[in-house]
């Protein structure tokens, strides 16, 4: 897949958006905390795999659009613009850090950066939505658990994935 055609890129992008959406929408647990409840989902698992194998652009697109689409269809409409930016930035960052790099230390650093982006990003989003700085603190544990689960799922296989499939060049 060295020089992937534009058509193939479009197909892969749509597939990745769908994967992130499905893992977010159908593999989740609603939390009885925070003002809006909160949600722990596995959407970050395909996001991280996409970032490692296909890079920052595909990951930003898949993560941002896939999870924002879930927000729009799952009753979290107010969150969609924030999710588009926050998760898009998470995917871009993981893809950028992992580009041309292998090893558990690099992947751990990338996932740690994504965790900071998620926690800070959603904290700021909740500050805007709820109009105070205290309410968003209730969501931090759920965000950390969500990221921890994704990291524990992907970190042990990340190196193997990259060695087996390699980074896919997209033209």
Compute the distance between CA of residue 4 and CA of residue 37 in angstroms, rounded to an integer: 42
Helices 44-54 and 140-165: angle between axes, nearest 10 degrees: 40
Question: In the CATH scheme, what architecture does the domain 6-165 have?
Answer: Orthogonal Bundle (1.10)
pLDDT digits (tens, 9 = 90+) for 72-129: 998 889 999 999 999 999 999 999 999 989 899 999 999 999 999 999 999 999 999 9
Is the pTM here over 0.75, yes or no? yes
**100: Cβ–Cβ under 8 A, 6 or more apart, which residues?**
167
Q: Which two tokens stand for residue 56?
A: 């920052």
**Residue 3 predicted with pLDDT over 60:** yes
């Amino acid at each position: 897949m060295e020089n992937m055609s534009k058509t193939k890129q479009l197909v892969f992008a749509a597939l990745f958006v769908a994967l992130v959406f499905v893992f977010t929408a159908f593999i989740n647990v609603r939390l009885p905390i925070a003002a809006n409840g909160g949600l722990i989902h596995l959407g970050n698992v395909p996001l991280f795999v996409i970032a490692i194998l296909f890079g920052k652009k595909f990951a930003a697109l898949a993560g941002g659009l896939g999870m924002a689409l879930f927000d729009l269809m799952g009753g979290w409409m107010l969150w969609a613009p924030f999710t588009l930016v926050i998760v898009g930035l998470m995917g871009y960052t993981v893809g950028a850090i992992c580009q041309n790099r292998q090893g558990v230390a690099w992947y751990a650093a990338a996932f740690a950066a994504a965790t900071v982006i998620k926690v800070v990003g959603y904290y700021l989003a909740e500050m805007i939505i709820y109009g105070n700085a205290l309410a968003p603190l209730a969501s931090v544990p759920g965000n950390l658990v969500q990221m921890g689960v994704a990291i524990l799922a992907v970190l042990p296989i990340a190196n193997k994935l990259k060695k087996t499939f390699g980074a896919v060049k997209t033209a």
